[in-house]
Amino acid sequence: MLDAGGLSVAGMRVFLAGAGGVEFELRDRAARWGLMARVLGRVDYPALGKLDKGVVRRYLERVTGLERAQVTRLIGRWRREHELRPAEVVRACFARSYTPADVALLARVDEAHEGLSGVAVRRVLQREHQVYGRAEFERLAGISVGHIYNLRKTKLYRRQRVVVEWTAPQRRACWAERRKPEPAGEPGWLRVDTVHQGRQDGRAGPYHVNLVDTVTQWELVGCCQTLSEKELETTVAALLEQFPFRVRGFHSDNGGEYVNKSVGRLLQRLQVDFTASRPSRATDNALVEGKNGAVVRKWMGWGLLPAAAARQVERFFREELNPYLNFHRPCGFAAIEVDGRGRRHRRYRANGYRTPFEKLSSLPDWVRYLKPGVTRESLERTARAMSDTTAAERLQAARQRLFEAAVQEREPEAAPAPRPRGAPRGSTRLGGASGASPLAPHPTPPNPQTLRKEAPPTS
């Protein structure tokens, strides 16, 4: 076995001449430096001649794997200090201003105050010492805000107080601008909302999509089985296509069913301004909210319809309800009056009630707002096709057929919900007269107070 540290100069010369394939493996720097110190001391390196010193240098380069400059530098250090020992690493060590007791006291304060901000906690620590004279807060009273957060990251603090950090929600793309739309008296600025038909016994009903024009109150209602992005995009696109005038604005609340990439990209493609309701402004979407109750709930009720009936409901809306709403159902249009103190009052005069088509046709040069292919004659022909009462009776009959089909399709074991206390017998709040049979499965009336006001007295 070769002793790398016990060779003479002659042995080193023989080794360099004949050991071309021999490799040495030294674990670390201390092993390399120890071997060099042994070799240099054994051969008495300072007393050697120039040729022998060159042999020793080459030998040390070979067995340690160090470069020539490194070996030269270490030999010079050995000759000065007569040893080769790695110097101890001296790292900067700052004095600790706060003891483990201070860290535990900070954790106690944070837990008591439910994790206030650093500025607020610093003020609490100051008051504990300065105002209440508590000696244990003397050091913490002078702590900086930044160092409070440093101490909160230490292992000692985390052992004293466990802080649960909730996962940050994913940042969504801002498809809608939160502001109030400005139609400036022109049609095409829509307000949109969703009405759920109901849920009972774990079954969900369809969803109604309600779009109302701000100026003319032209209203279109659609229906979809679920609120998936793809299905809702298809329903919204079909409703936008049914408006006789060009749609220029689309305003909704901040619900994810509309503020998403599918609806956002659809409106971008159609060059429609997409806005959403502002915080603490409940009246931004008040128009469509009122229509939800006065139109959708009035005609569709609160009862559960099966989600599979969404296609039939959509056809009912498109062929019966939407034409009636826009050509035969008068809406109230408020006149804005300003009093002497500058306050605005909305007055609904008797001569201010018109159908949405009448309101549209009363606008100056209203034909220029129509879409290509929609003419004045075609809209007037639809309005004069039947009278208002005839259209309402036809709508009633179509709704009765829709609900009867829904009742026949429900499961045989499903029983109707019990009649709420105070509700009159036969009242369903589904648009039918009092005493009629239920028009939809599982009727769900609203609160009894409303029922007592609207239903006729019973004997």
For 381-412, how does the pLDDT look when each residue is reduced to its tens digit (9 = 90+)? 999 999 999 999 999 999 999 988 876 665 45
Contact (CB, 8 A) for 434 and 427? yes
Beta bridge mates, 177 = 275
Q: Rounded to an integer, what distance in angstroms lies between the CA atom of residue 194 and that of residue 449? A: 25
Sheet holding 249-252, edge to edge: 177-178, 273-276, 249-252, 189-196, 207-213, 219-224
User: CA–CA separation, 299 vs 296, rounded Å?
Assistant: 5
Q: What is the pLDDT of residue 346?
A: 87
Check residue 148 and give left, alpha or beta (phi > 0: left; psi -120 to 50: alpha). alpha
Cα torsion at 374, 376, 378, 381 (round to 10°)? 160
Backbone angles phi, psi at 260, to 5 degrees: -150, 175
User: Contact at 8 Å (CB) between 314 and 223?
Assistant: yes
Long-range contacts of 36-44 (CB under 8 A, 24+ apart): 36/60, 36/64, 36/71, 36/74, 36/75, 36/78, 36/84, 37/78, 37/83, 37/84, 38/5, 39/4, 39/5, 39/7, 40/75, 40/78, 42/5, 42/6, 43/8, 43/9
Does residue 219 contact residue 210 with C-beta atoms inside 8 Å?
yes
CA 240 to chain centre: 26
How far CA 151 is from CA of 45, 80, 97, 158, in Å, comes to 55, 47, 11, 9
Give the model's pLDDT for residue 351.
85
pLDDT of residue 366: 94
Element (H, E) at 336: strand 335-338
Residues in the chain, pLDDT under 50: 1, 411, 413-415, 423-459
In the prediction, which pLDDT does 147 show?
Answer: 93
Region of residue 118 (phi > 0: left; psi between -120 and 50: alpha; otherwise: beta): alpha
Asked whether 147 and 103 are in contact (CB, 8 A), the reply is: no
Residue 139 CA to residue 142 CA, distance in Å, equals 6
CB 353 within 8 A of CB 331: yes
Residues in the chain: 459
SS3 call for 98: coil
DSSP state of 296: I
**Distance separating the N- and C-terminal Cα atoms of the chain:** 119
pLDDT for the residue 410: 58
- As a whole number of angstroms, the distance between CA 446 and CA 449 comes to 8
pLDDT of 38 reads: 87
pLDDT of 392 reads 92
CA distance 254 to 266: 17
Around Cβ 418, how many Cβ atoms within 10 Å?
A: 7
Please tell me the distance from the alpha carbon of residue 292 to that of residue 192, in angstroms, as a whole number.
10
User: Three-state DSSP class for 357?
Assistant: helix
**Cα separation of 244 and 375, whole Å?**
9
